[in-house]
Amino acid sequence: MLSLLFCAPFTFAASFNCDKAGTVVEHAICNSTALSELDVRLNDNYKLAMSNLPASQLVQLRSSQLAWLKTRNACDVQGDCLKSRMEQRSAKLESLSEQASIELDNTLRAIPTDPLVAAKKLREYSNPLASAWLVYLHQFERAGKVTDAEADQRYQMAKDALGDSFPHSLLIDIEKDPSATENRKVLTLLRMTIENAGYLEAVAGKEREYVHCFIFKNQDEDAYATFGSLYGSTMDSRAPICAPVGKLFQQPAWVQLIQSIAPELEHFGENAGTVRFSSYADWRMLDLRITVSAEDFLKSAAKNGPFRDPEKEITDWDEKDWSKQERDNVLKAAIMARQTTVKWLHEEKHFPAADADKAASAIVKQWLTARLDFMSE
């Protein structure tokens, strides 16, 4: 009867362990692929609603779910009653979870502009996501007035929610690392919590979009370093990296550059193992940084002096590994991408002409270098 409230590992057709089915209705669900799939979907919607509702509404939802289970178990399994009631309940929970997600995400969007109000609203939640954001507010938005005691309690709540997992053990390692800053610890916890919060997954048929994208502009290096590659495996494919801002990478010159080097990246990626997903995450992060913090590339050019010369490396690449024709195509596309980036920096970011030229050169060089490093591993 409580199968929808206490979800077993997903090793069974339904949302519960069918070997332990104890009622006629539970057996009917387990014996039907359609009902089993519906039960899983219903359970997912219930869990999503529970994870996004304020704490004051959780008891009511649990009670309503128990009451609904009684009506479900009263069905005659030979008719359409069971299917109909499960579909109705799933739809209601889906609608509830969608609205709860929207309200929570709207609160999170307000953090940069009104941290005090955001903190007040987040205190109404007991879920890991709200807890991690309250820790963020304490660390980076003092106007939110999150106390030290609150931050400590919420940090532990969000950390405990990671369970016995690789991210949890990795977070502990970071906590023990004397070189790790408090900023890095807080942002790592936030990153791991966002990964588990269901973003980019469908909620009521709509993709739940990221709402943390403001942290990259606000926290700059700390955020870029923390939200990129972390695990060295396929887990990095889940890195919560926002899409690039604007349409720079949709410009024909950049599309051509991306397409011209893609076959070689695919070829080298075939033997790279799962660690390649770390590189993919870093590339996505670089694209985001280019469009959000383009001034970083101007600063890095001034601070670090000349970059590597990826164009020369491409020119000197062994012919047997990468044909001259293909390399020439990349080099030509890189020139066009650089010119496009100069124009974009000047028009969209209002860079002076000289600065746009320097930053564009640094951007294209770093973009190419990241891929050459991948091909050289």
Both 318 and 343 in one domain: the answer is yes
pLDDT in tens, 345-373: 999 999 999 999 999 999 999 999 999 99
Both 258 and 330 in one domain: the answer is yes
Among residues 105, 138, 156, the one where a domain terminates is: 105
Cβ(360)–Cβ(368) under 8 Å? no
In order of 17, 120, 191, the CA distances from 111 in angstroms are 41, 11, 16
Chain CA centroid to CA 52, Å: 17
Number of domains in the chain: 3
The terminus-to-terminus CA distance of the chain in angstroms comes to 54
Cα–Cα distance measured from residue 97 to residue 45, given in angstroms and rounded to the nearest whole number: 7
All residues at 6 or more sequence positions from 35 whose CB lies less than 8 Å from its CB, including other chains: 14, 28, 29, 82, 83, 86
Within a domain: 350 = yes
pTM metric for this prediction: 0.88
Beta bridge partners of 207: 202
Both 187 and 290 in one domain: the answer is no
Looking at residue 207, what is its pLDDT? 86
Average pLDDT, the chain: 92
Both 259 and 350 in one domain: the answer is yes
Within a domain: 222 = no
Cα–Cα distance measured from residue 303 to residue 305, given in angstroms and rounded to the nearest whole number: 6
Q: CB-side exposure of 292: number of CA atoms within 13 Å?
A: 22
Within a domain: 8 = no
Q: List the beta strands (DSSP E) in 209-319.
A: none
In order of 50, 131, 140, 157, 160, the CA distances from 125 in angstroms are 10, 8, 20, 12, 16
In order of 215, 278, 284, the CA distances from 242 in angstroms are 10, 16, 8
Both 254 and 367 in one domain: the answer is yes
Among residues 43, 77, 105, the one where a domain terminates is: 105
Within a domain: 240 = no
Determine the Cα angle at 22 with ends 18 and 27, to 5°: 55
Both 125 and 154 in one domain: the answer is yes
Both 286 and 302 in one domain: the answer is yes
Domain around 116: 112-197
Within a domain: 218 = no
Among residues 56, 75, 105, the one where a domain terminates is: 105
Both 272 and 335 in one domain: the answer is yes
Radius of gyration of the chain (CA): 25
Within a domain: 304 = yes
Exposed, middle or buried by CB within 10 Å (0-12, 13-18, 19+), for 76?
exposed
Both 100 and 121 in one domain: the answer is no
pLDDT in tens, 156-212: 999 999 999 999 999 999 999 999 999 999 999 999 999 999 898 776 678 899 999
Cβ(365)–Cβ(308) under 8 Å? yes
**Residue 37 clears pLDDT 80, i.e. is over it:** yes
Within a domain: 209 = no
Within a domain: 307 = yes
Cα–Cα distance measured from residue 149 to residue 155, given in angstroms and rounded to the nearest whole number: 10
Cβ(95)–Cβ(78) under 8 Å? no
Cα–Cα distance measured from residue 41 to residue 49, given in angstroms and rounded to the nearest whole number: 12
Both 54 and 77 in one domain: the answer is yes
Both 88 and 119 in one domain: the answer is no
Both 87 and 150 in one domain: the answer is no
pLDDT in tens, 44-63: 999 999 999 999 999 999 99
Q: CB-side exposure of 277: number of CA atoms within 13 Å?
A: 12
